[in-house]
C-alpha cells in the first residue's frame, strides 16, 4: 500500500460519459475510490442518496460552505455541487487514489489548492454527438439541452488547463485511456522514491 494516494480530477461537459468512465475505472483498477459529490438538485429516476450523490437542501449546503467542509464547491445552472473534504483526505492518507468527477469551476478550485492533482478532461467527438447523447438520456427539457450545449462549448475551452484530454468517441477505448493514465501516473519516480530507496538499501545487505 502506498503512503499517499493520488487525487484524480475528471471533468467534461454534461452527457459526455464522465460517470460511466469513472465507474469502469473503479471496477478495473485496485485502490481507486470514487468520491460522492453533494448536490442540491433533485434526484433523477434511479439515483440513490449517498450512492450517486449526497442530496441536500440549499440551506444545508450553504451552511457547510460557511464551515469550510467542502474541498471544492460550485453553483452550476441553479444548483450547488461540492466535494466533502473529510472523506477525500482520509482516503488519500490511506494510500487510495481518489477520483473527483466535478465541473470545471470545482476543478479550478482544486487545482489552486491541490496543484499536485491529476487533471483529466473528457471531451465529446463533436457537439452534434453530445446533443444526441443528452437527448437519449431523456432527463432534460429542450431548453435544458440547449443550455447544456451552450455551456459545453465554453467548458471545452477549459480543457487547455488540464493535464490530459480523452475524446470519448468509443467507450471501451476511452475507458482504456483513463486506466492507462492512472497506472502510468502511479509509476512516476516521484511517487516511488521511498520504495526505490528501500530496494537500493536492501541490495547492499
Three-class DSSP category at 120 = strand
Task: Check the annotation: does 14 bind a ligand.
Answer: yes
Distance of CA 101 to the CA centre of its chain: 2
DSSP 108-153: HHHHHH-TTSEEEEEE-S-HHHHHHHHHHH----HHHHHHHHHHHH
- Whether residue 19 is annotated as binding a ligand: the answer is yes
CA separation for the pair 144, 32 (Å, rounded): 33
All three cell numbers of 6, joined, read: 493520488
Looking at residue 205, what is its pLDDT? Answer: 40
Sign of CA dihedral 6, 116, 111, 144: negative
Which of 163, 68, 157 lies closest to 111 in space, CA to CA? 163
This prediction has a pTM of 0.83
pLDDT per residue as tens, the chain (205 positions): 677 999 999 999 888 899 999 999 999 999 999 999 999 999 988 999 998 899 999 999 999 999 999 999 988 778 998 999 988 999 999 999 999 998 898 899 999 888 999 999 999 988 777 777 777 776 667 777 777 777 788 888 899 999 999 999 999 999 999 999 999 999 999 899 888 998 988 654 4
Which sign, positive or negative, has the C-alpha torsion 190, 179, 169, 77? negative
85 among the known binding-site residues?
Answer: no
The pLDDT value given to residue 103: 87
Q: Is 82 annotated as a binding residue?
A: no
Phi, psi of 43, deg, nearest 5: -65, 145
Can you name the CATH fold of 7-36+96-203? Rossmann fold (3.40.50)
Amino acid at each position: 500500500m502506498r503512503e499517499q494516494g493520488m487525487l484524480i480530477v475528471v471533468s467534461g461537459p454534461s452527457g459526455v460519459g464522465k460517470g460511466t468512465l469513472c465507474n469502469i475505472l473503479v471496477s478495473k483498477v485496485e485502490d481507486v475510490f470514487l468520491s460522492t459529490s453533494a448536490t442540491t438538485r433533485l434526484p433523477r429516476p434511479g439515483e440513490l442518496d449517498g450512492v450517486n450523490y449526497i442530496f441536500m437542501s440549499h440551506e444545508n449546503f450553504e451552511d457547510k460552505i460557511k464551515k469550510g467542509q467542502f474541498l471544492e464547491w460550485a453553483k452550476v445552472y441553479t444548483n450547488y455541487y461540492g466535494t466533502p473534504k473529510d472523506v477525500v483526505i482520509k482516503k488519500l492518507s490511506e494510500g487510495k487514489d481518489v477520483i473527483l468527477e466535478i465541473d470545471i469551476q470545482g476543478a479550478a478550485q482544486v487545482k489552486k489548492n491541490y496543484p499536485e492533482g491529476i487533471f483529466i478532461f473528457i471531451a465529446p467527438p463533436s457537439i452534434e454527438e453530445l446533443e444526441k447523447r443528452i437527448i437519449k438520456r431523456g432527463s432534460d427539457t429542450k431548453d435544458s439541452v440547449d443550455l447544456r450545449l451552450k455551456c459545453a462549448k465554453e467548458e471545452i475551452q477549459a480543457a487547455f488547463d488540464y493535464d490530459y484530454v480523452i475524446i470519448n468517441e468509443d467507450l471501451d477505448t476511452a475507458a482504456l485511456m483513463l486506466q492507462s493514465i492512472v497506472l502510468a501516473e502511479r509509476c512516476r519516480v516521484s511517487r516511488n522514491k521511498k520504495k526505490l530507496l528501500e530496494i537500493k538499501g536492501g541490495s547492499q545487505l
